[in-house]
Amino acid sequence: MTKIASDTEKYSAPALSKGLDILELLATQPNGLKKTEIALALNRSVNELYRMLFVLAARGYVLLDEESERYSLSMRLFELSHRFPPTRRLTAVAGSIMEKTAQTLNQSLHLAIPYGSHILVIAQVDSPGNNITVVRLGAQVPMVLTSSGASLLYRLSVSERRDICADNEFFTPEAMKVFEDAVEQVAATGVCESPSSVVQGVLNLSVPIIGYGGEVVAALTIPHVRRLHASDDPDVDTCKRILVAAGKQISEKIGAGAAEGDASARSERQAS
């Protein structure tokens, strides 16, 4: 028996485990679950979970819809995550770069991370112009409907992307076909350009942000609007070029691929 397994057995906390089980389950259920459904999914009795749900709701970690009797995850964990160094560092690094990019392009930008079958917006910057399109901070949008989702999932396999996107009421074969076309753009060019599936007339431009281990950790997106009386606004091609540069700058500042380089260096040292 490993030390971790031994310690887990020695210091078990059944009530805490039940509470964490509930949170982890609800994190995968954007539409929430009824008390009986939670009990069934966790293979526990309703009586076992009643007090856990009451306390989690009282502390603001879950929400109860009185009409549907469904429990869902609140934004409390999202708020706490912003106090956690990796997320805080990502938003801190991205903030100034996003501000500069918004000023240069006269376009709004937002930064999103994966959240189950949705994207979750963790940073947002307005353009300096009078006419803007923005996505609310903390907004959740189905992956399959977004260019951000294409940037976030482009390194996964087709089946992995389908499994993630299918866990959503907006999933259809037609929507998935459009989504895969967007994914191919990211893989081929490093940037996605696609009409918004949410707001008519908006052209979404999105690039992936690469983390320390070489994984995609976020997507930087412009909900591009064309102003009819602003002839000096940069065109779409210019916006794409500068957005790609901004994405690379953020990625570099958070150490993109450094872990892969460290592993390669260690292998070379071991071989010598």
Residue 165 and residue 218 share a domain: yes
Give residue 138's region: left, alpha or beta (phi > 0; psi -120 to 50): left
In this structure, the number of other CB atoms found within 10 A of the CB of residue 9 comes to 9
What was the pLDDT predicted at 23?
A: 92
Residue 230 within a domain: yes
Signed CA dihedral, 27, 30, 34, 36: sign only:
negative
Instruction: Identify the pLDDT of residue 10.
Output: 59
Kindly report the pTM of this predicted structure.
0.67
What pLDDT score does 265 carry? 42
Angle in degrees, 0-180, between the axes of helices 14-26 and 35-42, rounded to the nearest 10: 110
Domain holding 46: CATH number?
1.10.10.10
In a domain, 53, yes or no: yes
The predicted pLDDT at position 230 comes to: 66
Same domain, 46 and 134: no
Residues 125 and 67 in one domain: no
The domain boundary, picked from 17, 41, 74, lies at: 74
Residue 231 domain-assigned?
Answer: yes
**Are 178 and 255 part of one and the same domain?**
yes
* Residue 46 in domain: yes
Q: What CATH code is carried by the domain that includes residue 94?
A: 3.30.450.40
Same domain, 199 and 235: yes
List the domain range (segments joined by +) for residue 180. Answer: 80-259
Regarding whether 254 and 130 lie in a shared domain, the answer is yes
pLDDT at 13: 83
Same domain, 61 and 92: no
Same domain, 198 and 66: no
Identify the segments of the chain with pLDDT beneath 50: 1-6, 8, 262-272
pLDDT in tens, 153-175: 999 999 999 999 998 889 999 99
192-232 pLDDT per residue, tens: 999 988 787 789 999 999 988 889 999 999 999 888 766 78
Evaluate whether residue 265 is within a structural domain.
no
> What's residue 56's pLDDT?
94
The confidence score (pLDDT) of residue 201 equals: 78
Residues 33 and 133 in one domain: no
Q: What does each C-alpha distance from 46 to 18, 49, 54, 67, 209 come to in angstroms?
A: 12, 5, 12, 19, 42
Residue after which a domain boundary falls, among 40, 74, 108: 74
* Number of domains composing the chain: 2
